Amino acid sequence: MKTLISSILFFAWVAVSSPTPIHPDPALPKRALPPIPVKITTDAQLTAIVAGIESDVSDVGGIASAILQVVAAVVPSPSPASVPLAVSSVASVIAAHPTNFIQNALDLALNGLTTRDLTTVISSFVQDSTTNLNLITPLPPVFPKKSAKDAPYSQSETVLRGAIYIPPGFKYGVGVQPVIMVPGTGAFGYENFAANLGKEFTGSSYADPVYLNIPGAQLDDAQVNAEFVAYAINYISAISNHKNVALVAWSQGSLSCQWALQYWPSTRSIVNDLVLISGDLHGTQLAYLLCPGFPKLPCAPSITQQEYNSQFIATLRNGGGASAYVPTTSVYSIFDEVVQPQAGTGASAYVLDSRQVGVSNTELQNACTVLQPGGTLYTHEGVLYNALAFALAKDALTHPGPGLLSRIDVGAQCQKAAADGLSVIDILATEATIPLALLGIVAYPANKKVLVEPAIKAYARKDIPK
């Protein structure tokens, strides 16, 4: 309880403090990286090693190698036996290091809170995820542009279409709405959603999921990542008898969707709903935590673009992206260990509604309170299996406009540790997105990492704040 209270106080401080990105103090003394043992079995071992990694900012390759060695050396504890125990165990891990992304990712693995053999999972998934063979030709064509007002694509149609994974049972708009699942930073679509919302939607009467496996796992230029969303919207609608689609996005996926809707206006009329889970439409003060050694060492482009005051974020918001273009449902947690601030109307996930298309913003702790299972210490990834988040997503997809608490039995949903139908394995698979993201970030090609965020593309330069 003391740790939980400390975490509440920390996140409350972040919520009311000046929205300035937090950077490490360059004057901090450098600590030597301790030898990495063959087996890591205790939190004390892990903490000492992580402290050394975080202070050794002289070599990108060395840091990446060290983290990969640590992942290989971690000996996981037995996994929790029940869903409530799994959720509470995750909360305990995050509460110990509220905003230390590297420590949290490795602690989740050490405490048996992820799927096993993470290095095998990520290598096999990357191998096959971005080259799907989708042979149906959309009529009329949606490339190179569906509308003259759309921004130009920098990627070929083959590459854009190859990122769309269409499950074998997809119904192409017959009797059920297509839903495009857009992943977050360091994740691919199926890996991101298959054990949570994707499981709920598959075979349902109201949502038929397809998954975006964006090359680079959302670590490349965020403007290019958004191209895959824009193309997928028009392509999936066109091959689904021109039915409207919905979007469900986690983390950076929210930015990808909003940028696509802003600069490819042809998409807006065919999107019924946008559901945002742990969105960061204003970036995050904690972006640097995702990159060991940043800003002294380079980082993946999209992470630099997600800093709270980045030019990418400023351009999106100045161009109208702070407000919804389509009915939007946003669900987030004040205890998000990746995106901050994430509280009240100042939350990065908070969406305005100047166009009056319909928006709902739900902070889990405000709806459920921290004393109920559904409002406790839900993390960035934990919102993906939260029962109230599931209920709001379903409500949005089964009614015109956004998901509304007034149509949901909030009390019943807040008493659940996780959504109905999810198993311990599903919780662990969802939690694996964090260590997998860490592996993706450190393994990101050094020659593609940057110290300065990518320049705003020509089509959006008019929206750069003067």
Task: Please give, one letter per residue, the 3-state secondary structure of 28-85.
Answer: CCCCCCCCCCCCECCHHHHHHHHHHHHHCCCCHHHHHHHHHHHHHHECCCCCCCCHHH
Per-residue pLDDT band for 77 (boundaries 50, 70, 90) equals confident
Say what the pTM is. 0.90
Distant-in-sequence, close-in-space partners of 163: CB < 8 Å, separation ≥ 6:
130, 132, 212, 213, 214, 215, 228, 232
Whether pLDDT at 16 is above 50: no
Lowest mean per-residue pLDDT among 37-46, 64-73, 316-325: 64-73
Distant-in-sequence, close-in-space partners of 30: CB < 8 Å, separation ≥ 6:
55, 56, 57
Q: Has residue 122 been placed in a domain?
A: no
Number of domains making up the chain: 1
Q: Has residue 16 been placed in a domain?
A: no
Residue that wins the pLDDT comparison between 434 and 15: 434
Whether pLDDT at 51 is above 50: yes
Lowest mean per-residue pLDDT among 97-106, 314-323, 329-338, 434-443: 97-106
pLDDT value of residue 391: 99
pLDDT tens-digit readout, 260-282 = 999 999 999 999 999 999 999 99
Q: Please give the share of the chain, as a percent, with pLDDT higher than 90.
A: 67
Q: Is the CB of residue 41 less than 8 Å from the CB of residue 97?
A: no
For residue 295, is the peptide bond before it cis, meaning its omega torsion is within 30 degrees of 0?
A: yes
Whether pLDDT at 355 is above 70: yes
Q: Is the CB of residue 236 less than 8 Å from the CB of residue 244?
A: no
Q: Has residue 450 been placed in a domain?
A: yes
Q: Has residue 12 been placed in a domain?
A: no
Q: Is the CB of residue 388 less than 8 Å from the CB of residue 331?
A: yes
Q: Has residue 381 been placed in a domain?
A: yes
Whether pLDDT at 31 is above 90: no
What 81-86 contacts at long range (C-beta under 8 Å, 24+ apart), as own/partner pairs, is: 81/424, 82/424, 83/417, 83/418, 83/422, 83/423, 83/424, 83/427, 84/373, 84/417, 84/418, 86/113, 86/418, 86/424, 86/427, 86/428
pLDDT value of residue 122: 46
pLDDT value of residue 124: 45
Lowest mean per-residue pLDDT among 120-129, 244-253, 427-436: 120-129
Domain that holds residue 246: 127-463
Q: Please give the share of the chain, as a percent, with pLDDT higher than 70.
A: 88
CA angle at 250 for the pair 323 and 19, rounded to the nearest 5°: 55
Distance in angstroms (rounded) separating the CA atoms of residues 396 and 176: 14
pLDDT value of residue 3: 42
Q: How many CA atoms lie within 13 A of 13 on its CB side?
A: 9
CA angle at 93 for the pair 189 and 110, rounded to the nearest 5°: 75
Q: Has residue 44 been placed in a domain?
A: no
- Mean pLDDT over each residue of the chain, to the nearest integer: 88
Q: What tokens does 212 get? A: 């975006």
273 has which bridge partners?
246
Q: CATH number of the domain that 170 lies in? A: 3.40.50.1820
Q: Has residue 273 been placed in a domain?
A: yes
Whether pLDDT at 24 is above 90: no
Per-residue pLDDT band for 316 (boundaries 50, 70, 90) equals very high
Lowest mean per-residue pLDDT among 67-76, 125-134, 158-167, 434-443: 125-134
Q: Has residue 2 been placed in a domain?
A: no
Distant-in-sequence, close-in-space partners of 123: CB < 8 Å, separation ≥ 6:
none
